[in-house]
Amino acid sequence: MSERVVVTGGAGFVGSHLVQRLVERGDEVTVFDELPPDPHAGARYVAGDVRDGDALRAVVTPGVDVVYHLAAVVGVDRYLAQPLDVIDVNFGGTRAALDAALGAGARVVVASTSEIFGKNPAVPWREDDDRVLGSTTSDRWAYSTSKALAEHLVLAYVRQHGLEAAIVRYFNVYGPRQRPGFLLSRSVHRALNGRPLVLYDEGGQTRCFTYVADAVEGTLLAGTRAEAGGEVFNLGSSTECSVGAAVALVAELTDAPTSTVSVDTRAALGPTYEDLTRRVPDSGKARELLGWSCTTSLREGLEQTIAWARANPWWLQTADSGAA
């Protein structure tokens, strides 16, 4: 049965893929975003700032079944350069989205992040594991803190107001359409433009890369399964891969030159920046309650991402926002 759905941030990377899937399954979809729309047949686009409660309430009206709240300021480059925007949008925008959904009687799925856990060394991380963060003098932690406070908001609305809501935490999501400001998207972008690949801090740190289609499926399940109400879910691959190995795989799949530029993140991003040595989710809860698992290998996901990039030269002409 089709539903009426609103996606905040639906013109962004994950949001655009989510909108595509919602349209494909026959839902009536409204995208609310201040970014230019990524057009999808059957989706309505409304321009607006997610912090504008009146504008959101005009879109999230009685009869809307689900609000997928993905609007946020994301990316290391942005939360180092725009910490105030990060806090304001990620917290204030979530408050406005929750208020609108509560007034309309809609369910909500809020997108969060693996950054929640900070630098907790005890991996894999379960949903209720401790957060370990650095000093507030480091803008590095503004994003993690803003998203954690957004999660507190969601759970408070659930407990105090009876809002039906769930939280999904993404772990290093990648794929077609992602701006070249993240490790894999930047590596593909540079490789296909014939530029040396960037290796940060010698590439020994590890990540669990999650293909966007898998992340979207988990998000949809959180929006449809009754078991998801009031719960938080890690959505991430269980395969741990070093950054160096991931960059080497991009070079292999693109037939790119093997030369790399080594970058010291402290020197490039400032002395208060802290990278994480490991970032590994325990996704058992999503598997047990939602029936979700990450099914796309890194090789398969990169092959699809590279094929898309080759077919979309406009993306290759966009600016690379990384260091070096």
Query: Within 13 Å, how many C-alpha atoms sit on residue 179's CB side?
Result: 16
Catalytic residue, chosen from 68, 79, 143, 174, is: 143
**What 3-state class would DSSP assign to 120?**
coil
Q: How many residues does the chain have?
A: 324
Return left, alpha or beta for 201; rule: phi > 0 is left, psi -120 to 50 is alpha, else beta.
left
Residue in the structure block whose two tokens are 């769930």: 166
CB 147 within 8 A of CB 112: yes
Chain Cα centroid distance, residue 36? 18
Q: What is the DSSP string of 38-53?
A: ---TTEEEEE--TT-H
Parallel, antiparallel, or unpaired: how do β-strands 197-200 and 165-170 relate? unpaired
Best CA proximity match to 274, nearest among 168, 137, 158: 137
Asked about 200 being catalytic, the answer comes back as no
Just list the catalytic residues: 143
